Structure 1
Amino acid sequence: MGDTSLLKSKTTDQKETVTRSKSKKRDRSASEERLLQAAEDIFAKHGFKGATTRMIADKAKVNESLIGRYFDGKMGLLFALIETHIKEKVHEELLYPPQATAREELSALVDSMFIHHCQKDEEFFKIVLGQCLVDPKFLKRIREVAPINQYIPLVIARLEVLKAQGLIQKDVDLQTMMEVFDTYFHGAMFFDRILMGNDVNAIKTKLNVFINGIATALEVKAK
């Protein structure tokens, strides 16, 4: 075989290797995606403890061994789901436009959090919360990977603009105020929504009362 033929043969082999590699990556990616979706459905239906890797694999229509190979078991699969949700929720900016007053800003924030976070992911949140309550090691790991109040600096930046415009009192501690807001909001979601099963609109009504109290403390008093 001449040098030219040998070179062509090597080039062809290299192209075929690259093609096979890309194909395997696509296949793995597709299998991982199916497993993640199946796991979320099965966890929501049976709970983390009641779900089995066999149930998940059957729903995803893949070999059960792939769960161990790709995710290191059921717990690894749950954490992969958590990381996926975290990536979807971390934004560089808020998902609604800046508002003209602190009261309107906080009201828009509540609406946004309900739409993009709470209602959409309520069942998954229950799964994670339930596991946190019974598994201290799981809770510790969640604390290490979950972003804490990542939206707060974004809201504070907007409130600082309103403060510069003379619409918010100069001596207000916005950091503390937003941390109080965050605690109350998630407390309402845990107690009112999950434990008591209250209607979302009823929770929003209660939150609006809370927002009015914060806004009254924030806004400059009319002379």
Structure 2
Amino acid sequence: MIDSRNLKRHPRNRFETETRLLDAAEKVFAEHGYDGATVRDVAAEAQANTSLINRYFGGKDGLLVGITKRFVEAKRYTELPYPLQPTLSDEIYHYLHHRLLEDRAHEAMVRLMVSRVSIDDDYRQKARAMMASGADENFRLRAKQHQQLGSAPQDMNVDMLFSAIAYFSFSVNFFGAIIEGRSTEEIDAQFSEFSHRMGAARR
């Protein structure tokens, strides 16, 4: 266990402890639900002192905000794993497919966020603020590359396009994949049609 008395002298220890607590919170919340989980459960999973949760995050609510921020930032800034596509339509399709795979891999986190947003006004305001800064950096870079190559119009409003993509992605991934349990192939067919229409509308 990390000695909290040394954290001021070793800032890296705080970052490592915060990361361990967030990892533990995500696991415990997934297993027991947000209401069923306790800070003691999280501290035990992280092998850390319970008092550090209050010190670093202000309690269980702060842990939820912390893991949400990490989840959102990973989507916004992590480099996309596939190459630039030949057309804007293909780019939109691959982006949607990639986000579907991510949401399936982090289904417990998606369920947690949606359930808390629906009943916790304070959390909803904080989560909305995290997601309200327009297109993520990955998609913005791809859009600029398509504009430079002439495969997307120069006056294309990237934020408006991304907003449409993000809403479609969430609704299909959450309701179609997570709630209804539809297959990736079924959802990809929807993505293909949506991508074709969105790309064609911007020629």
TM-score by length of 1: 0.73
Match of 1:29 in 2: 15
Per-residue deviation at 1:212? 2.4
- The 5 Å alignment of 1:1-223 reads 24-91=10-77, 94-115=80-101, 117-151=102-136, 152-162=139-149, 165=150, 167=151, 176-219=160-203
Equivalenced residue count is 196
Provide the identity percentage.
27
Quick check: 2:118–2:124 contact (8 Å CA) kept in 1?
yes
Per-residue deviation at 1:127? 0.8
* CA displacement, residues 150-176 of structure 1 (integer Å, 9 cap, x when unaligned): 3353343234235xx3x5578876654
Structure 1 SS opposite 2:128: helix
104 and 63 in structure 1: CA distance in 2 versus 1, 3 angstrom threshold: same
- Greater shift, 137-146 or 39-48, is seen at 137-146
Quick check: 2:135–2:159 contact (8 Å CA) kept in 1?
no
Per-residue deviation at 1:114? 3.1
Match of 1:7 in 2: none
Quick check: 2:88–2:152 contact (8 Å CA) kept in 1?
yes
Per-residue deviation at 1:51? 0.9
Quick check: 2:30–2:112 contact (8 Å CA) kept in 1?
yes
Quick check: 1:156–1:175 contact (8 Å CA) kept in 2?
no
Of the two, which has the highest radius of gyration?
Answer: 1
51 and 106 in structure 1: CA distance in 2 versus 1, 3 angstrom threshold: same
Per-residue deviation at 1:192? 0.7
Match of 2:3 in 1: none
Per-residue deviation at 1:76? 0.8
Per-residue deviation at 1:213? 2.5
TM-score by length of 2: 0.79
Separation (CA, whole Å) in 1 of partners of 2:119 and 2:27? 21
Note the aligned Cα RMSD (angstroms).
2.9
Give unmatched runs, 5+ long, in structure 1: 1-19
Per-residue deviation at 1:21? 6.2
Which of structures 1 and 2 has the larger relative contact order (alpha carbons within 8 angstroms, sep 6+)?
Answer: 2
149 and 120 in structure 1: CA distance in 2 versus 1, 3 angstrom threshold: farther
